[in-house]
Every structure is written in structure tokens, then in C-alpha cells.
């Protein structure tokens, strides 16, 4: 089976259509049931699968980079009386457990990126639901700034997952309902257990939607509200930069991009991720370099590589993460981005931040390794070491293996908790963050000092290093992947809980567990029997 391609282009979309008018873009969902991600099911009633979400993620990214004039995007549907019926149930029923979990995670990340566009890029979103909006369709609406529902006596919003499938609105629905829209908990309880959902005046009274509009005024009301939302935006983006294909070279066990390389060893269940630094200093005009700017291209490649690791190599449990290049050039690119006042430069930094969050959310053990003289854990690359589960450094007699800090480590690259990775690392010693940044301002920190400062987990000399790393890798690969995923996800989310950590930590963990339970996916489970005449047979013990 061909690998999943996460890159696409509007000219190749099957499920979405773009239109533009002034400062408003309209993204129209028209799911083509004949083009599912994999054969075996039809995408009826604007239900979605991974292929639909890949196009949505691409559309959001292109709006941010290629269409800086757009200040509000209307997300709507062409199918009359149905906005979106959510994730395709037959697709879920046919999918492996790992695929279901990764599908939900990717969908979650796409929703978060839409919210990030509103918070940081001056791109607001209006969900214009001209019909029934169910499950994942309502979750998409919840990710928008405002929701407009047609008031026609039949259109409803609903979360039918619990009553019909014995699962959860697992792409952030429960969390956004009470944390973001601040729906009362008792009302949310009713809403989430009524399969047919809620319609009419009650949807607005309960804060499930923002606007209730009769069908006769629909088009005018949507256009008027979108223009009004766009008029409130003061953040500017641009200049526009087109995002061409990355065109990696793929073999069965290796994927090679310009700056990123992934290689896997299925027999040992281990892999290697190598990320390379820039080959030259940043140009005077960053936007003129366009998509080939190292800071942008490298992290677009890393993003694509992480997604392929998740979906195409589920058997690989642990990756070593290595970097190579000239640390001074990485620091120069970081500084150039931070000093450039353009919206393009800010958007590149925001993309780097989003990709690093994807790295944090990747359910693989990540051991960062600096064992070569061309190692380059500097600036934004140091974030890869700080985000890894462990960081091993070789003590070399030539004193060439070091780490370095830049403005990229000073707080912009926040994690899901709102903390920087340095703040998360030194959560119990907050003064150490400033101490490390002060020391980093004086130049690179060699392995021994990096360990003393708390940046390296283990620094060992060449007599012990190879054996210590090998044993650690073998031990890690022998442990239960399920327990490791749970352990790592908990340890990586250091600090205060946010809506994002609830989505990727608490909610995703429960969804992961529920997907394995007999009440949902067993022989007589609700998800297994969906669409059949048999009723599910539940195991009634509460756990």
C-alpha cells in the first residue's frame, strides 16, 4: 500500500473548495465520497476521514502564508441541510487501533492550528453551519471563533459519540465545549448524551452557537458577519509566499529531504531522525528567499517527517534525534527571524513552534544524541534536545561538542502548557532558566558544562558513551509501547494544565483507552455494530 502523502495543493483537493472576496475567504466542504483515504467505505453526508483533514490542514497553512490579505475565513458546506456529520464511522470501524488514535491526534492538531491562526496570525474563522452539524463536524465548528447555525426547524448540533458509538468526541469536543465556550457542565452533560442533539433557540441559549439565522437571510448574514469580523483584525501578515512541494525521496526504510532524514530499522524497532542546519547565512530579505528560507523549509520537512513516522512506521518505538551543521548559522537565522518585523517572519516562527508541538505530541521515545563534532543543538535546534525524553552528550577531548542558546530559547517556542521548554525543564528551579540564558549569551557550552547546567541528561566519555547509549536504547525498545506512550505524554506536559494539554493528554488518553474496550470495539460493541440491526451488548461494570 502506498504511503500516505500529507502534502497536497488546492488544485488537487477532492473535498474542499476555496473562494476569495476582499478580506474574506470561504472554504467550502464538499466531501467526495468516491475519494476516501483508503478503499472500503463511502464518505456519506460530508463525513470526513484523514484525506479530508489533510486538505483542511493544508488550506489553513496556505491561508497563513499565501493569502496574507485574508482576515476571516468562513468554513461552510455545499451539501444542503448537512454541514458535516463527523468522522466516517465505517472508516473508524475498519481502521487499526493505532490508525484511529493517530487520526484523532492529527485532527486535534489541525483544530489547534486553526485556533492558533486566530490568536497569533490575524486570521479569524466563522463556522457557517447551514444544516445538521454532528460529532467531528461540530468539533470543527467549535475550533472556529464563532458559530452560525441555520434556524430552519430541523438543523441541530450534536455530539452523538457517547450514545451511539460508546466513545467520546475525541478531537477536542468535550474540552472546547466547557473550557472554550464555557457551556455549563450540567447542560453539557445533557447535550453529550442526546443522540439527536439540540436545535433552535436552545442552541443559542446554551451557548452552543453564537448566531441563529433563518434560511431566508442566510447568505447575507454570513457575508455581513464575516466582513464585520475581518474589520476587527489589526494583525498583518505577509508578504505572500507560495509553498511548493517538498518532494522527498522515499525508500522502504528511509526518507530523505533537503535538510531532514528519517531512517528506520524494523528488526530492532528503532529509527534515526537527523535534522541539518543551514548552509549559509540568512539573506538580508527573508521573504525574498520564500519557501526556500532554511528556517521555513527545514521545519516544513520536519513536520512532514513526523507525520510519516506516526502513520507509516507504527512498529518503530524509539528514535535517536541528531543534528548537524554550523551552530553559528542556526543562531544567525534565529536572530534574523526575531528581528524581522514582517508578518512573514512571524509566521515562520509560529510554524516552527507548531512543528515543535507536533514533536512533543509524537508517541515515540525520543533520545537526542550529540556525539559528533558537527553536532548542532543550537538555538531552535536545542528545542529538539529539550523536548526529547533524554539528551545524551559525548565528552570529547577536542572540545567541539557543545550546545548553544539563542532568542529562540527565550520563551517564544512555547509548549502546550504555555511554558518554554527551558521553563518546563527547570520547573522546580525557575532561576536556572535565566542562568542558562545568561551563560548562553557568552557562547557555546561544552558537554560537561551542559550536564552541570542541567541541559544534558547524561554526558559520558568515549569509553562509556557508545555502550551506555546502546544499552539505554535496547532497554527502551524492550518495554511496553502502551505504557511508554502514557508515561511520556504525562512527563512531557510539565506545568499548568491548559485546554491544549487536556485535549492531547487527558482526552486523547481516555479516547485511546476507550477505543480498546469491548463496549465500543468488541464483537458486540456499539462502534462495531453501527449501521447494523443488532443492538450493542455492554459490559456493565464501571471502572
Instruction: State which H helix or E strand residue 221 sits in.
Output: helix 218-231
Quote the pLDDT of residue 155.
Answer: 96
Quote the pLDDT of residue 49.
Answer: 95
Q: Considering only CA atoms, which of 396, 405, 384 is closest in space to residue 259?
A: 384
**Pairing mode, strands 270-276 and 318-324:** parallel
**How many other CB atoms sit within 10 Å of the CB of residue 239?**
13
Q: Which residue has the cell 452539524?
A: 133
Alpha helices in 319-462 (DSSP H): 327-339, 343-360, 382-387, 421-425, 431-440, 447-453
Quote the pLDDT of residue 28.
Answer: 98
Please, which pLDDT band fits residue 513 given cuts at 50, 70 and 90? confident
295-318 tens-digit pLDDT: 999 999 999 999 999 999 999 999
Reply yes or no on domain 10-231 having CATH 3.90.226.10: yes
Q: Around 477, how many Cα atoms within 13 Å sit in the side-chain half-sphere?
A: 18
Quote the pLDDT of residue 428.
Answer: 95
Quote the pLDDT of residue 1.
Answer: 67
Query: What is the pLDDT averaged over residues 205-216?
Result: 97
- What three-state secondary structure class fits 367? strand
d(CA 446, CA 379): 15
Query: What is the pLDDT averaged over residues 144-157?
Result: 97
Please, which pLDDT band fits residue 130 given cuts at 50, 70 and 90? very high
- What three-state secondary structure class fits 260? strand
Query: What is the pLDDT averaged over residues 113-135?
Result: 97
Query: What is the pLDDT averaged over residues 77-90?
Result: 93
Query: What is the pLDDT averaged over residues 389-402?
Result: 93
Quote the pLDDT of residue 278.
Answer: 98
Task: Check: CB of residue 76 under 8 Å from CB of residue 28.
Answer: yes
Q: Which residue has the cell 543551514?
A: 278
Q: Which residue has the cell 471502572?
A: 543
Query: What is the pLDDT averaged over residues 394-408?
Result: 93
Return phi, psi of residue 105, to 5°.
-65, -45
d(CA 459, CA 158): 54
What CATH number does the domain located at 249-485 have?
3.90.226.10
Query: What is the pLDDT averaged over residues 31-60?
Result: 95
Q: Do domains 10-231 and 249-485 have the same CATH topology?
A: yes
Please, which pLDDT band fits residue 538 given cuts at 50, 70 and 90? very high
Q: Give DSSP secondary structure letters for 230-256.
A: HHT------S---------EE-SSEEE
d(CA 310, CA 364): 8
Domain boundaries, given as residue ranges, for the chain: 10-231, 249-485
Q: Which residue has the cell 457517547?
A: 162
Amino acid at each position: 500500500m502506498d504511503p500516505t502523502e500529507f502534502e497536497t495543493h488546492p488544485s488537487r483537493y477532492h473535498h474542499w473548495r476555496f473562494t476569495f472576496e476582499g478580506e474574506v475567504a470561504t472554504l467550502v466542504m464538499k466531501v467526495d465520497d468516491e475519494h476516501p483515504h483508503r478503499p472500503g467505505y463511502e464518505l456519506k453526508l460530508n463525513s470526513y476521514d484523514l484525506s479530508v483533514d489533510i486538505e483542511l490542514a493544508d488550506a489553513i497553512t496556505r491561508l497563513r502564508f499565501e493569502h496574507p490579505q485574508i482576515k476571516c475565513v468562513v468554513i461552510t458546506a455545499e451539501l444542503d441541510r448537512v454541514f458535516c456529520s463527523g468522522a466516517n464511522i465505517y472508516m473508524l470501524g475498519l481502521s487499526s487501533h493505532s490508525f484511529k488514535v493517530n487520526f484523532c491526534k492529527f485532527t486535534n492538531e489541525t483544530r489547534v492550528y486553526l485556533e492558533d491562526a486566530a490568536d497569533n496570525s490575524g486570521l479569524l474563522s466563522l463556522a457557517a453551519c447551514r444544516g445538521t452539524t454532528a460529532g467531528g463536524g461540530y468539533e470543527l465548528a467549535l475550533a472556529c471563533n464563532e458559530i452560525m447555525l441555520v434556524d430552519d426547524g430541523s438543523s441541530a448540533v450534536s455530539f452523538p459519540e457517547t450514545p451511539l458509538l460508546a466513545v467520546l468526541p475525541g478531537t477536542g469536543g468535550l474540552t472546547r465545549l466547557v473550557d472554550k465556550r464555557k457551556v455549563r457542565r450540567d447542560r453539557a452533560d445533557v447535550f453529550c448524551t442526546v443522540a439527536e442533539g439540540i436545535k433552535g433557540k436552545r442552541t443559542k441559549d446554551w451557548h452552543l452557537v453564537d448566531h441563529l439565522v433563518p434560511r431566508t437571510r442566510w447568505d447575507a448574514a454570513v457575508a455581513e458577519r464575516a466582513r464585520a469580523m475581518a474589520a476587527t483584525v489589526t494583525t498583518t501578515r505577509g508578504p505572500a509566499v507560495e509553498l511548493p512541494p517538498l518532494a522527498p525521496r522515499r525508500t522502504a526504510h528511509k526518507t530523505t529531504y533537503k535538510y531532514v532524514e528519517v531512517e528506520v530499522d524494523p528488526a530492532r524497532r528503532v529509527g534515526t531522525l537527523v535534522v541539518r542546519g543551514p548552509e549559509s547565512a540568512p539573506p538580508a530579505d527573508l521573504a525574498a528567499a520564500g519557501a526556500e528560507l532554511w528556517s521555513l523549509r527545514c521545519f516544513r520537512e520536519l513536520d512532514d517527517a513526523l507525520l510519516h513516522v506516526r502513520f507509516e512506521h507504527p512498529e518503530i518505538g524509539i528514535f535517536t534525534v541528531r543534528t548537524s551543521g554550523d551552530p553559528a548559522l542556526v543562531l544567525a537565522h534565529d536572530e534574523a527571524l526575531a528581528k524581522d518585523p514582517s508578518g512573514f517572519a512571524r509566521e515562520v516562527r509560529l510554524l516552527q513552534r507548531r512543528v515543535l508541538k507536533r514533536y512533543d505530541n509524537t508517541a515515540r521515545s525520543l533520545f537526542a544524541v550529540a556525539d559528533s563534532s558537527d553536532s548542532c543543538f543550537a538555538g531552535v535546534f536545542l528545542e529538539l534536545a529539550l523536548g526529547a525524553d533524554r539528551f545524551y552528550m559525548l565528552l570529547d577531548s577536542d572540545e567541539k561538542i557543545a550546545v548553544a542558546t539563542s532568542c529562540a530559547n527565550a520563551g517564544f517556542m512555547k509548549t502546550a502548557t504555555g511554558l518554554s521548554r527551558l521553563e518546563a525543564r527547570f520547573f522546580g528551579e525557575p532561576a536556572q532558566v535565566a542562568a542558562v540564558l545568561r551563560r548562553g549569551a557568552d557562547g557555546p557550552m561544552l558537554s560537561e558544562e551542559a550536564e552541570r547546567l542541567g541541559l544534558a541528561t547524561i554526558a559520558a566519555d568515549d569509553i562509556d558513551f557508545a555502550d551506555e547509549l546502546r544499552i539505554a536504547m535496547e532497554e527502551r525498545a524492550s518495554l511496553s509501547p502502551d505504557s511508554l506512550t502514557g508515561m511520556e505524554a504525562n512527563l512531557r506536559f510539565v506545568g499548568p494544565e491548559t485546554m491544549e494539554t487536556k485535549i492531547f493528554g487527558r482526552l486523547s488518553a481516555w479516547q485511546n483507552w476507550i477505543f480498546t474496550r469491548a463496549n465500543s470495539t468488541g464483537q458486540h460493541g456499539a462502534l462495531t455494530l453501527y449501521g447494523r440491526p443488532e443492538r450493542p451488548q455492554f459490559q456493565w461494570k464501571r471502572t
